[in-house]
Amino acid sequence: MEFHRLLKMDLPKRQSAFLWGARKTGKSTYLKQNFPDAIYYDLLQMDTFSRFLKQPHLLREELLANIDQVTKHPVIIDEIQKIPDLLNEVHHLIEAKKIQFVLCGSSARKLKRLGTNMLGGRAWRYTFYPLVFPEIPNFNLLKALNHGLIPDHYQDIHYRKSIKAYLFNYLKEEIQAEALVRNLAAFSRFLDVQAYGHGQLTNFNNISRDCGVDSKTVKEYFQILVDTLLGYFIYPFHGKKSRDEIISIPKFYLFDVGVSQALTKLRIAELRGAVAGAAFEHYILMELIAYRGLNDLDFPIYFWRSKSGLEVDFVLGEGEIAIEVKISTTVHKSEISGLLAFQETYQPKKALVISQDVRPRQLSVKDKDILILPWKEFLTQLWKGKII
């Protein structure tokens, strides 16, 4: 199955760029397809890695020897974070020779930690995501919730083994090889423990106790997941800062619903029940995040929760759009008390429920409208720019 990726890297001549994205999301394939004439360096190849690690200046010498082709097509360096010193050579070649680079990697954490030259704003930044709804022919929701949206995993009948290998390689190549943590065993335990509180209010102290490390270390571990593009914090919407709101504790979501399911060792047999509902909510969030990034938008994504337990899954912008996600096939008013409370307090422009309803419906409560959308209808409208 082929996927038509939505990212558009429309680079003016001589404009360089970073392309960041989690491992195996399809960055390398995308670059080879979209820049077929580029000079390509892959730092996962040991001979290339060894040459440039010992002598970064070889990059400059090789490109200057081929300057006619280099000035016509971009130079791609894949896994740039593996050799930070190459960025000094890249910076020089951009400045002195106006060479265009596309620098690809899975994390800028190591580069920033070492104080590496990040090209002083000369390179645009793009982010690559797992597959999204419009990219997948004959999209299968149940399959997506179990397999996840990493291209190879979505198509793989042995997806559980593939995800297990993916996590092992992440620990070995991203965490251990880049020396991001001192205690790899503790970080591995943390990965498992955090998954069971996934999408809930993050209790750093409980995770700390279960992992056997202090809460400061747990917060650092979460930041590593964020910096290596494997997860996102979603913060509470505070609005008028009512005393009835929890305004400080975030939720954490991994970047891929399949990875999350694999860590908790859960399988979803049908689109019903609490586990399917949590995975469905997670999936919708990933679509919102990817839509925002791929369209170069900057609206914040929050959740809302009161001390009394009323909750809205997602609040977009500064309260303009409130979204509740339900796995139900027919949503009733009794299921959306949080959305009704938020609507009464903040008067959002749109109040939406995403569900498995067959057709769109409109509920009117206290002269306020709530639109119930089948999930396919919501995603179609989202990617057409009709939601936000």
Residues 217-258 have pLDDT tens digits of 999 999 999 998 999 999 999 887 566 666 689 999 999 999
Q: In what helix (H) or strand (E) does residue 358 lie, and over which residues does it extend?
A: none
Q: Is the dihedral of CA 200, 204, 205, 211 positive or negative?
A: positive
Assigned token pair, 177 = 């090889």
Instruction: Say if residues 327 and 272 touch (Cβ distance below 8 Å).
Output: yes
**pLDDT-derived band at 308, boundaries 50, 70, 90:** confident
Q: What is the mean pLDDT of the chain?
A: 93
Q: Is the pLDDT of residue 118 over 80?
A: no
Mean local confidence (pLDDT), 150-177: 91
Residues 219 and 286 in one domain: yes
Last residue of a domain, one of 94, 128, 162: 128
Strand partners, 245: 306
184 inside domain: yes
Residues 115 and 186 in one domain: no
Last residue of a domain, one of 128, 149, 166: 128
Last residue of a domain, one of 75, 95, 128: 128
Residue type, 143: K
Residues 6+ apart with CB under 8 A from 294: 6, 7, 129, 132
Mean local confidence (pLDDT), 173-197: 85
348 inside domain: yes
Q: Give me the domain span that covers residue 183.
A: 133-383
Residues 225 and 275 in one domain: yes
Q: Alpha-carbon distance 370 to 343, whole Å? A: 9
Assigned token pair, 279 = 């995975």
8 inside domain: no
Residues 213 and 358 in one domain: yes
Strand partners, 301: 316
Q: Specify the higher pLDDT residue, 78 or 365.
A: 78
Instruction: Say if residues 353 and 324 touch (Cβ distance below 8 Å).
Output: yes
Q: Alpha-carbon distance 5 to 126, whole Å? A: 13
Residues 139 and 124 in one domain: no
Q: Alpha-carbon distance 264 to 257, whole Å? A: 11
Residues 53 and 169 in one domain: no
**pLDDT-derived band at 178, boundaries 50, 70, 90:** low
4 inside domain: no
pLDDT digits (tens, 9 = 90+) for 347-386: 999 999 999 999 999 998 888 899 999 999 999 999 999 9
Q: Based on the structure, what is the number of domains in the chain?
A: 2
CATH number, domain of 107, equals 3.40.50.300
Residues 123 and 182 in one domain: no
**pLDDT-derived band at 31, boundaries 50, 70, 90:** very high
Residues 237 and 262 in one domain: yes
Residues 355 and 248 in one domain: yes
Strand partners, 374: 355
Residues 347 and 198 in one domain: yes
